[in-house]
Amino acid sequence: MPPFSSISKSMNLSQGVPDELDAPGLSRDSVSRLARESGFIEAGIVGVPHAETDRDAARFAAFIQQGREGSMAYLARRSGEDGRGELVRGRVQVPFPWARSVVVCLASYHADAPLSTGDAKPGAGWIARYAWSGRKQPDGAVRPSDYHKVLLKRLRALEAAMHSVYGEFECRAYVDTGPVVERSIARAAGLGWTGKNTCLIHPKLGSWNFLAVLVTSLPVAEVAQPLTVPDRCGSCRRCLDACPTGALVEPYQMDATRCISYLTIEHRGAISEELMGGMGRQVFGCDICQDVCPWNRKAPIGVGEDTDLGPRRELINPDLEWLAGLQEADFERLFNGSPVRRAGFAGLRRNVAIAMGNRGLARYAPWLRTLAASEDLQTGQEALRNAATWALGRIAEKGESDFAE
Ligand code: B12
Ligand code: SF4
Ligand code: SF4
């Protein structure tokens, strides 16, 4: 994935220095205020390296050492010309030796909308909540939006505001795609704790949040040492028990190669029968381990309402047959500018075929037969045929008519 990044060294002191800047370096209050003015719901800062840098680097290294990144090879990148140095993402100072602090910003995608674990009409698939995002146009229509672009723009606004206050400094802005373990740095910046489902959970806002980071060469002011949020999972294990593919192999640890989010979004090839059976009706991403989390039930709806990232209602509980009927041009029209595009047309169809197999309705068979028998499949679409054949087998096994539904 190419990183969205920005580099800036501009200087503009015309707005003056706020009162709270008595101590040299970044002030939490000042940065949080500027982040809110730039459109984020909250922000934290942490000096790097921080007290838990070695521990977090070791956790990340263990994840890679166990091959849990699967085909997301960018996660395992190492420094050095021969590519054999330290893991680039393990510590912020490997890719950014000049870094002295990281500003971490939160944006919410919480919405008053159903959960994937709730009731749904028969034959409904599931697209992950974060990917419903759309922006309301002046004419009332909602067009697809993608948090990478929306939030990078806000980060650039924040960066410009910080230059106005703090003067010249080195800076990189990333949303998702930079060489930073964002959840680890967000926890260190005091924005929440790592849940047993591996998500960053904010004590008031839950986990329906995106993270966006600014790596800077400015130190953090003495008075702004990070506040740490204690782990509030307690004895709860709901996420581990609910994960249908056993991806949460231990509390706080995920084998991404088993995660439905990875399988439906990142993984291009065929999927094992065992995992296809566990994927249920998810056709893009997965929300199950967050839907069952009690901290998300407590999260106030509306507080983080974001007009650029609001839900496109047609993507909530989408009908599998509607998705199966989309032609490539429809796919482009619906998902150009949306995170869903990442799965690709063939990827989405593979996922729909699997969801149909799990639903087991006989009326899906004709479409699945067409996919399974298709002669003109291009390279990379083998997975589609494989999924369709498996789904037909599942429907035959169930052997009941579904037309009564
Ligand atoms: C690769 C990736 C994925 C992969 C792998 C996820 C994973 N758990 O590693 C896949 C495709 C599966 C995925 C799925 C999702 N992702 Co993702 N993903 C990333 C990405 C690009 C890198 C994550 C990474 O480095 N993973 C490696 C592991 C080691 O890191 P980690 O999971 O953060 O690891 C923590 C734990 O392992 C923990 N840990 C390990 N051992 C122990 C032991 C103890 C005792 C404790 C306390 C902790 C602990 O420490 C680590 C640091 O916090 C980040 C963006 C970024 N640049 O960071 C987004 C990111 C993590 N994803 C995000 C989102 C929204 C999702 C989904 C919700 C999307 C969806 N609905 O389908 C799901 C959530 C699934 C889940 N339960 O995590 C958000 C998370 C926001 C949040 N509030 O947590 C991020 C931050 C993107 C963003 N900018 O907003 N994702
Ligand atoms: S996102 Fe889904 S598959 Fe991945 S860990 Fe959570 S419940 Fe399991
Ligand atoms: S479901 Fe329970 S264990 Fe899992 S993250 Fe939420 S509070 Fe923690």
* Domain count across the chain: 1
Rounded distance, CA 101 to CA 99, Å? 6
- Write down the pLDDT at residue 246: 98
What is the CATH number for 212? 3.40.109
pLDDT of 172 > 60? The answer is yes
> What angle, rounded to 10 degrees, do the helices at 344-359 and 365-373 form?
130
Buried residues in 271-306 as b, exposed as e (16+ CB within 10 A): beeebbbbbbbbbbbbbbbbbbbebbeebeeeebeb
**Residue at 373 is within a domain:** no
Other Cβ atoms within 10 Å of 241 Cβ, number: 10
pLDDT of 324 > 50? The answer is yes
pLDDT of 303 > 70? The answer is no
> Does residue 256 have its Cβ closer than 6 Å to ligand 1?
yes
**Residue at 127 is within a domain:** no
**Residue at 378 is within a domain:** no
pLDDT of 3 > 50? The answer is no
Pocket test for ligand 1, best of 65, 151, 176 (most atoms within 8 A of CB): 176
Report which of residues 306 and 38 the model is more confident about.
38
> Does residue 103 have its Cβ closer than 6 Å to ligand 1?
no
**Residue at 49 is within a domain:** yes
Measured between alpha carbons, how far apart are the two ends of the chain, in Å?
A: 43
- Write down the pLDDT at residue 299: 80
Percent of the chain whose pLDDT exceeds 90:
80
Q: What is the pTM of this model?
A: 0.93
Which of ligand 1's atoms lies nearest the C-alpha of 187?
Answer: 53
Ligand 3 pocket list (CB less than 6 A):
195-197, 233, 236-239, 292-295
**Residue at 286 is within a domain:** no
- Write down the pLDDT at residue 402: 57
Rounded distance, CA 313 to CA 310, Å? 9
**Residue at 76 is within a domain:** yes
Rounded distance, CA 306 to CA 40, Å? 9
SS3 265: helix
Averaged pLDDT for residues 211-238 = 90
Asked if 176 is an active-site residue, the reply is yes
pLDDT of 295 > 60? The answer is yes
Q: Which of 191, 192, 173, 217 is nearest to 38 (CA)?
A: 173
Read off the pLDDT band of 8 (50, 70, 90).
very low
SS3 104: strand
> Does residue 346 have its Cβ closer than 6 Å to ligand 1?
no
**Residue at 41 is within a domain:** yes
How do residues 127-157 score in pLDDT, each as one tens digit?
999 999 999 888 888 899 999 999 999 999 9
pLDDT of 19 > 70? The answer is no
Q: Phi, psi (5° rounding) for residue 188? A: -65, -30
- Write down the pLDDT at residue 304: 57
Look up the domain containing 146 and give its range. 28-112+132-224
SS3 290: helix
Averaged pLDDT for residues 267-295 = 96
Query: Which tokens in the block code for residue 173?
Result: 């802005």
Q: State the average pLDDT for the chain.
A: 90
Other Cβ atoms within 10 Å of 45 Cβ, number: 27
**Residue at 48 is within a domain:** yes
